[in-house]
Each structure stands twice: as C-alpha cells, then as structure tokens.
Chains A and B, each alone.
Chain A
C-alpha cells in the first residue's frame, strides 16, 4: 500500500527545479480535494486505495528515504490514479466491492497536514520554524555551525509534522534518520563470526559522520542551487549509562558544530513520573547539552483546544461520520494538547456512533445518577464494581479533573434528611453533614484512573479556593486530613525494603487506596461551608514546578562543580550554594550576562536559567485546565 499519493508527489517534485516548491504546495491538498468530492462519499474512495494495495505493496518497507523519483513518475502516477479510480468506479457499479466501506489507513496518516494551513500548531510557532529554516537554507555555505534547531515539547504536539509541512512548502528534501534492523545479540553469539555486532549508537555515529562529510560535497558540486536538504533527526538512540550518553552527546555536539545543512533534532518531553526516572534525566540533559553546543531551541506548547477541535471537526466532515459536537469537544479537552492522540481517539470513538450517544449520556448525567448509588447499600458488605465506563482520555485528563471538580465543589442535598444514622446514634451537630449529591468517593476515584499522589497534590493546591473566605477552621480540618493522607501515601521505607516484591505491591496498593479515600473524604467532609459556586480554574500543583526547578538547578550546580574551568572548583555542595553563588551574584553587575565563561552550563549567568524559567512558566500556564460547574 505504500505511500499515499500526496506524499509521493512531495518527494518527487523536489527534484524538478524551479516551480517544484510551489507546485507541491498547491498540488498536495488539491489532489485530495478534487478526488474526494468528485466521487462523492468515502465509500467510493475506498476501493481505489484497496486496488492499489497489492501493486505497490513493496514500497512500504523501503521507508521514507526513497526520495529520488523523477518528475515523470509523478505525472504517470496521477494518470494511474485516475485509471484506478475509473476502474474502481466500474467495479462499484458492478457491486463487487460493495462491502468495503472504510479506508484502511489510520486517520493520523490519512489526515497528516500537507500544508502550513492545515497544521494545528500555533501560526507564530510555525512562522518561527519556517523563518529559521529559510534563513539557514539561504545562508552562504562555508560557515560552520549555527545550523541546527532543537524542537522540544510534549509528545504529539506536531514537532515532526511542522518540519515536514514546511519542507513540503519550501520544496526542500527531508532526510531522516531511520534506525536499521539490527542483528540480535543472541543471533550474534550463535552465528558464525562473520556478523559483526554494531550497536545502535555506533550506527548513529556513522550516520552523523556521513552527514558531516557529504554536506561538504553534495549541494555545491552538483551545482543546482535549488536542491535544498533538511536533516530531521527524530529517533535519537536510547542510551543507558553515562559512557554511552557521553558518546551520544559528543557525536551530536560535533554534528551541531560542523553541520552545513540545516539540521532539526526533535526531542520529546516526558512528564515527570517516578517510574522512568532515567529517561527523563536523559532528555533534559540532552537538551541542555545541545543548546550549549549552539543549537537554536524552539519549544512547542501543547496544541490549544480550539485548534484541535477545528481539525477534528474537519475530519468528521470528511469522514461524514455522524459525530456529535459534544464528543469532539470532550476529546479535544481531554487529550491534553496532544493532537495525534486526539485524532486517534476520534477514530476509535467514531467506530460505533450508536453506542457513542449512550456513553455520552451516561457521562453527562453522571452527577445526578443517584440510582447507581443505591447499588451500594443493597449489598453493602460486598465490593461493588463500577458500571459506568469512563470516556476517553490520556492519563491525568478530563476524568481526573472531573473527579477533582466533584470533590472540590462538594455538592450536597440542601435539606438534611439525617435519618440514616438515627438508628445507630446521633452525631454532634457540627459533625453532621447532608448526604452527598454524588457517587461514593471511592467509586469516583476508581473511575478517574488517576494516581493517588496526583490527586492529593491537586486537591492540596486547589482546595483553599473552594472554601468560604471566613471558614478558617474548615481549612484547618481539610489540611490536617490532607497531611494525613500524604503521610499514608508515603508509607514507610522499611516496608518496601523488607517485603518481597509481590507482597509489598499488595500492601502498597492498599495504603494507596486508603490514602486516596482519606484525601477525598477529608476534603468533602472538612469543607463544610463551600464558597458560593462561581467560576474557578484548577491549577496544577506548584509543588511539582518547584521540585522540577530544584532538581535541574541542583544538577547544574553539581555539574559546574566538577567542571575544572569554573571558578568554584572542588568545593562541597553546601559551600557552593551558600557562599559562592550569592557572592558571585553580588559582585557581578546585573547586566553582565556572560561572565566570559566558556563553560556551557552557566548557572548564574542569566540566559540559560531565565530562558528555562520562562519556558516552564509558559508550560504551566498551558497546564491549567478549566473547570466550571459539573
């Protein structure tokens, strides 16, 4: 099945000089536009691609680097497309392929942005990248360095897509690093000695070396000034351990400093999570290293909800699937700025439009489903399973905010019917609460699929906003419960060390559950006088940001300590922090940014740290999720 038609056009047109670029830009989208409406609904488009499948099945394996097709083949292909289309129309009339309704591509491939207009990324960001690329492509040859760009950002915010779309727009060739299939270590051990084991890292190094050499030759020697090349490095080898990381770093630094072709390196940010600490260390470290080597950095923010929505709606229209506005809205808000995941979920949720509505209805009326709550007392000594399926979303998304909103808003019945506890004994007046207008907190928690630590942090950060201004003692109660939940959550270090893996998992699981319900119930119980409901935003916990900054600063300081060229040579850590740092800041004038220190990891000297803080600040603004009344 190989490439989609527009993609082939893209790569082939880069060879014909002159109008190539413009041609691509206009032809890419237009081919699709003319093809789709010409033969009405998607039902007819389907067979055409299925026809093509066996014939071009071979091209799929060859990857994306097959960039040199002649312009001739482009026009031939168009002809071929038309033919197959006619052919399939005939087939359709005969009713042979009537059962084929859906196209067989993933929607993320099918609706890959082909022009700048289709990108979901912010216009200004695209402009930035484009300007940078154009400038570097025009820049005179011969100068070394300064031609590399680092794109960072979360997964799925359109880093690679932007570069690809821009390359298509300005008619440049994209050269990507694809990892070759390696020999297995086991094969190597058992095979004859002919095979040689080459690690990914070595292969990557070879690739980089090749680029550096060829960059001197190719563009000038051919003599055609129009052949523009951009190198895109997307799949940076995974390194483990310091030695291999150092090698990778050296290799990339060399590339950055010597490349003559614009090179784009895309790095994906990971969210903080304790499980894979090594990986996060890797990407952050690498980023600062690359920047130190003189790479220009552009941070991609998560895609805004409105632009995701726009794109999703467009896809819906083209697929002519009967999706509701609500669903699109829900997907868009819950994907956390990840356009790729949004499209993926859309494809999944479009599978069955009939079921869809009921799922939505369930989630919409979740708050007033008291019928489900009655399930619990009926068989109270047995665990109750959740019946309601939660809607889409990546972790830490809508469902979590949904749950948080419920806990924070703390909706209760207005007139107290306390007859439940009358049969046992009556409570003190101030400990009495009206029944909750929601499901059992444990059930909400289990549906939120969030981590307990996350829930507790979020509650801690936001709960004060929701308590009435005068009710200080309520705040006391809430905070004391939260602190107890925190204590339960931390558990004891002895336990995890002493127990075998299985058992400690079990016990940890239970303490997590308890901590979660103490936190949630504490907030619900303690907040006796909720502030009148108005519009609130839920902030992401500041603790996380502080911790992150703390860790990175500490890392930088440690690094500088071991840097022999730096002034603060072999002092211990506390000395550096308490004495040197303030002193340095004090004696150096404010505007003296550089201090003429060649060291790359300059802590006190503004640009790095300020830049970093700025980036983080904007990040956390993006993190904010708004909730209103649920």
Chain B
C-alpha cells in the first residue's frame, strides 16, 4: 500500500498521513532493531516462517515489518493467503474458533515453502478465552498456516501461546535511527528545518517512530518551518531545556532562579502532570552524582504520586524543588 501511495500526485500530499505514506513496504527498509529485522529478511526470502510473537513498545515497527514480511513472502497471493485481524475486528472466542479455523482449513495454492499467515495485531488485547481457543488451532494446522502476533507486552499473551511461538523483541529506536528516517522524509517533502527542530522532535517522540513522523507533519502543516519553538508549540510539552536549567539552578544552590523558572512554566499553563513527566525524563538523563540522582528520582516519584492523587497544586511543585534543595544540602560535604 505504501508503494502505491507514494506514487500519488504531489497535489494531494497532505491528504495522507506521513506515517502511512512512508511506511516501508519491504522488510529490509524497516528502521532499527537490526537483529530482528535481518532475521525477518531471511524468512521473507526462504519462507517457512515459524510462529512469531513480535513484542515491543509502540511505534517501533512491529506491524510494519510483519505486513511487509507477509507481502514479500506471498506476493500476489497476499489477498487470499493472509488473514489480518486487529483489535478493531471482532476477535471474541467464537470468531477465533470459527474464522481463524475456517481460514486455516482453506486451501490456497502458494509457492513451495510458503504458508498462509494469520496476523493478529494488538494481540495483548485479546481475551484469555480467545487466546486459549487459539492454542490448539495453532498446533493442528501448523503445516498449512502460521501465526504472527504483534503486541506491546508479551506477558499478556498466555503462556501456552508463548510457548508455541518464537518471541521477537523490538526495542525503542535510537535517536540516530529516528533521525536517519526523518532526514529522508524531510528531503522527500522538501521541509524547511533547522537541526534543533529535528532534535526537539526526536525528544518528544521518545523512541517512537510513529510519533516522530506525526509530530513532524503536524509542525510542518502548522508552521511550515521546523524549529524548536514550533515543535514545542505543536507538541505542547514543557521545554526540556527550560526544565533542565531549573534542575541545574537547584543543584547550584540558586533556589530563587529555579522557583521563578517553575513559576514561568506554570504560568504558561502546563499542568503539573506535564511538568513532572518532563522533569522525570530530564533528571533521568541528567549527569549528576549517583546519590543525588537516586534521591531526586525518588522525590519526583512521590510528587508524581501525590499529583495523581489529585493534589496537583503549584505548592506541590515548589515543595518538590524545596526537597531537591534539601537533598543537596544533606549531600553537600
């Protein structure tokens, strides 16, 4: 589908989400997770796919690679050789028993070494009952039909199914990998940008390629230019540099500056949850002594818990800064 859509006329460029437009159609083009992807490439070439569970956080290319794999393996007979069900389809117990079993019994002429494929996307949202029903089906029809399950947490798949599959893990993409793909898209769409803008997009995406592309498209269609301010305007997160300088001020003992920085953020209208989420990510990657990091993380955690409890006041945030300062005082030699 990506192949056909990329050939579309430039007039309707903005009609298709870039996520779809630049979805790789070949396994080899999938970004990141080099090990897993190279194995899937071998499967695409040689056939005989084992039952697979692809698990990993969202936006790391699970669905993309399994669809590409199916297309590459089955080619023209994709339409009759693949049954794709995702969470929006009816996937209750009787559907699994009926639809999947019927599909498994169907006869399709395929090239040698190829099998029919059942793709169950978002398999962790299937009920336990439905998964139980899948168990025997997988075994009985294994010589004609293979299964590929994509899910975010493989632990939500029941053990008997896990035991029948090889687990392929996808991890978050590195910043370089996302950047590489962004550059391709930027070049293809002729987007005006500054490097800091792309950096900001990568920060907001947090290893999620889908989000990176969506944020990029949103920024472009909103402001026609990708720089830091525009990205944070669109994605609307507290600016990490701002938060970082706040933490730095506290650690340097400039408590007043830190407080005014916080006040500024709060006055911009960010909710305490937003602020604390960014704060956590900043602290996690901030380079400081081990003890300080541990204590700061702990205090952030407790503040986050209180905010989730409903005490999302400005006072809590200032209190958090005060606690940071206290930690600094106790740690200081």
Contact surface of A with B, Cβ cutoff 8 Å: 1-2, 50, 53, 57, 60-61, 63-64, 100-109, 154-156, 178-179, 181-186, 200, 234-235, 238, 240, 268, 270-271, 273, 275-276, 278-279, 338, 340-341, 344-345, 347-349, 351-352, 355, 359, 376-377, 379-387, 389-390, 392-395, 420-421, 424-429, 431-433, 436, 442, 446-447, 449, 451, 481, 484, 488, 491-492, 494-495, 498-499, 507, 510-511, 513-515, 517-518, 521-522, 524-525
Contact = CB atoms under 8 A, between A and B. Distances in A.
Contacts of A234: 136
5 contacts: A156-B160, A344-B50, A344-B166, A383-B281, A385-B173
Given A390-B169, A446-B171, A492-B308, A104 B112 contact: yes
Contact of A344 (B32, B165, B280, B308): B165
A60 B143 contact: yes
Contact of B156 (A108, A275, A394): A275
Nearest to B156: A275
Given A102-B46, A270-B159, A433-B291, A389 B252 contact: no
A352 B241 contact: no
Interface of B: 32-36, 38-39, 42-43, 46-48, 50-52, 90, 93-95, 97-99, 101-102, 105, 107, 112-113, 115, 128-129, 132-133, 135-136, 140-144, 146, 154-156, 158-160, 162-169, 171-175, 177-178, 199, 202-203, 206-207, 240-241, 244, 251-253, 273, 277, 280-282, 284-294, 297-298, 300-302, 304-305, 308-310, 331-333
Given A340-B163, A341-B162, A389 B301 contact: no
Contacts of A107: 50
Given A276-B128, A394-B163, A427-B292, 15 more contacts: A100-B113, A106-B143, A155-B160, A279-B132, A352-B38, A385-B177, A393-B167, A395-B162, A424-B288, A433-B290, A494-B310, A507-B304, A517-B284, A521-B294, A524-B290
Given A341-B163, A522-B294, A381 B282 contact: yes
A451 B308 contact: no
Contacts of A495: 305, 308-310
Contacts of A179: 97, 133, 136
A154 B159 contact: yes
Contact of A384 (B32, B98, B174): B174
Q: Is the interface of B mostly helix, strand, loop or mixed?
A: helix
B332 A103 contact: no
A515 B166 contact: no
Contacts of B141: 60
List the 3 shortest-distance A-B pairs measured between CB atoms, nearest first. Answer: A385-B174, A348-B166, A156-B163
A510 B280 contact: yes
B159 to A, nearest CB: 4
Nearest to B32: A385
A141 B154 CA distance: 48
B112 A510 contact: no
Given A385-B173, A394-B167, A235 B136 contact: yes
A607 to B, nearest CB: 28
B143 A104 contact: yes
Contact of A521 (B33, B162, B293): B293
Name, among A155, A273, A345, A348, the residue most crowded by chain B CB atoms within 10 Å (CB to CB).
A348
A179 to B, nearest CB: 7
B315 to A, nearest CB: 18
A382 B202 contact: yes
Given A427-B332, A495-B309, A518 B167 contact: no
A429 B39 CA distance: 50
A344 B51 contact: yes
A389 B163 contact: no
A249 B293 CA distance: 55
Contacts of A426: 332-333
B41 to A, nearest CB: 8
B94 A389 contact: no
A447 B172 CA distance: 10
Contact of A348 (B39, B107, B294, B332): B39
Contact of B98 (A183, A386, A481): A183
B273 A507 contact: yes
B160 A268 contact: yes
A518 B166 contact: no
Given A275-B156, A421-B288, A385 B207 contact: yes
A518 B298 CA distance: 6
Contacts of B93: 238
A394 B158 CA distance: 11
A510 B305 CA distance: 10
B115 A104 contact: yes
A554 B301 CA distance: 35
Nearest to B162: A394
A271 B115 CA distance: 32
B301 A270 contact: no
Given A178-B140, A279-B132, A385-B172, A104 B158 contact: no
B289 A420 contact: yes
A345 B97 CA distance: 27
A179 B132 CA distance: 12
A389 B171 contact: yes
